[in-house]
């Protein structure tokens, strides 16, 4: 029996760059930054005062008056992105077998704003003032739970938390459910809403964030010699994966084919990546091998590219080790230069960017690339997008704890 093939038939996104896939993609192509001064809370006493917030988001307008009261912002954003993806793929008509539709999403942190608010109530009032909805609003697995309940999807349903690799792990796991014939359709990706005082202070104190408060839009600068840390972002990216014959039978639009994934562990340090990129090499290698494609077939990598001193040279070294001299011919970009770092959601947003790159033949830029770093000497598509036919590409995401995930996709051909 031939191996099942998995295709992308729907996408949804909400980030600082826009409330839809189309709006996000237009801003990515133009090299626009979504980073700015944080305006959702007072940052006067914080050393880092910038972030990549979703702008003009009214949960009541998006979800009705009642539903947002039972959801943390992380879930609200996830539902909005899922709605766009579900509508895009038309998987709600009567012909769909709903017990063959599953949901697997990733979130690195979950409902931290709810945690902060309810902990404040506990300290400043009495225990009885803590909301009975505290736990179900905070836990990351409530995101796929709400998605399944809204559309009656009864297939595999759970959440993955592997720091910044969460959404990529979710996509790979969703792919596996289809390959193993446990589902025909999987709703997958990630959501994150961790721009809060506590999270910001925590990341700041571990020296992970950029402190360019006076130049917010220049703060996220992957692979640039003057990079000084990542910029916190928020949002959600959700895709619909579908078994090919199932998609063809119902006449679905097919955007790209997901061909494989690679997961690995650095087994090195709780926050720092392996300096030689050992785990990153392994995850990319596995994704390529499972794709049954040659390394030479890959023309583009949407890099993890966090804008941190440790990640960017490590990822560069990993790419060069795996691809050899051909690494210099591969186009690379870090869209985190524009969206900021969405932590557990980043794999969803960046996989969508990979699919759009394959679809449109346009490689988005790495903005703020101004100062060459001898350790980062590949083609990072500096500052302006380029037109380039891309038949196959990789999306890399790595997380605290040494988690590595690479997702491979290619243009769809019969």
- The residues assigned a catalytic role are 164, 304, 341
Sequence-ordered list of residues with C-beta below 8 angstroms from that of 322, at least 6 positions apart, any chain? 281, 284, 285, 295
Nearest to 82 by CA among 131, 12, 22, 155: 12
Which pair of tokens denotes residue 233?
């972002």
Measured between alpha carbons, how far is residue 129 from residues 62, 88, 136, 300 in Å?
28, 41, 16, 52
Nearest to 373 by CA among 228, 266, 261: 228
Per-residue buried b or exposed e for 58-97, using 16+ beta carbons within 10 Å of the residue's own CB: ebeebbeeebbeebbbbbbbbbbbbbbbbebbbbeeeebe
Per-residue buried b or exposed e for 293-315, using 16+ beta carbons within 10 Å of the residue's own CB: bebeebbbbbbbbbbbeebbbbb
Which pair of tokens denotes residue 278?
């050992």
3-state secondary structure of 403: strand
Angle between helices 142-151 and 73-89 (to 10 degrees): 40
Nearest to 233 by CA among 249, 219, 254, 247: 219
Report the alpha-carbon angle 203-205-211, nearest 5: 75
């Amino acid at each position: 029996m031939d191996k099942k093939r998995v295709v992308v038939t729907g996408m949804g996104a909400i980030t600082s760059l826009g409330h839809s896939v189309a709006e996000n993609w237009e801003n990515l192509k133009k090299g626009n930054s979504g980073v700015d001064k944080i305006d959702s809370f007072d940052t006067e006493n914080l050393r880092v005062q910038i972030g990549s917030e979703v702008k003009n988001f009214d949960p009541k307008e998006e979800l009705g008056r009642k539903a947002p009261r039972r959801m943390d912002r992380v879930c609200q954003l996830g539902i909005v992105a899922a709605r766009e993806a579900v509508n895009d793929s038309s998987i709600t008509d009567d012909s769909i077998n709903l017990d063959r539709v599953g949901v697997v999403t990733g979130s690195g942190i979950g409902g931290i704003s709810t945690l902060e608010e309810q902990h404040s109530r506990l300290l400043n009032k009495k225990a009885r003032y803590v909301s009975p909805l505290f736990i179900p609003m905070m836990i990351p697995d409530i995101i796929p739970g709400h998605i399944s309940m809204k559309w009656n999807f009864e297939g595999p349903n759970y959440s993955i938390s592997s720091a910044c690799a969460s959404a990529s792990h979710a996509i790979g796991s969703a792919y596996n459910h289809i390959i193993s014939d446990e589902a025909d359709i999987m709703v997958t990706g990630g959501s994150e809403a961790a721009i809060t005082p506590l999270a910001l202070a925590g990341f700041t104190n571990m020296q992970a964030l950029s402190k360019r408060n006076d130049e917010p839009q220049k703060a996220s600068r992957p692979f640039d010699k003057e990079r000084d840390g990542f910029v916190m972002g928020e949002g959600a990216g959700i895709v619909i994966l579908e078994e090919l014959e199932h998609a063809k039978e119902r006449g679905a639009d097919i955007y790209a084919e997901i061909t494989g994934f690679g997961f690995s562990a650095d087994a090195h340090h709780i926050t720092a990546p392996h300096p030689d990129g050992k785990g990153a090499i392994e995850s990319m290698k596995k994704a390529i091998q499972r794709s049954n494609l040659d390394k030479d077939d890959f023309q583009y990598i949407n890099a993890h590219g966090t804008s941190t001193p440790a990640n960017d040279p490590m990822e560069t070294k990993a790419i060069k080790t795996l691809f050899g001299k051909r690494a210099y011919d591969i186009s690379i970009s870090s869209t985190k230069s524009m969206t900021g770092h969405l932590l557990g959601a980043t794999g969803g947003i960046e996989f969508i960017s990979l699919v759009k790159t394959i679809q449109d033949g346009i490689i988005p830029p790495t903005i703020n690339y101004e100062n060459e770093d001898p350790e980062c000497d590949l083609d990072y598509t500096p500052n302006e997008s380029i037109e380039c036919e891309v038949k196959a590409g990789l999306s890399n995401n790595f997380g605290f704890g040494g988690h590595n995930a690479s997702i491979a996709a290619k243009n769809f051909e019969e």
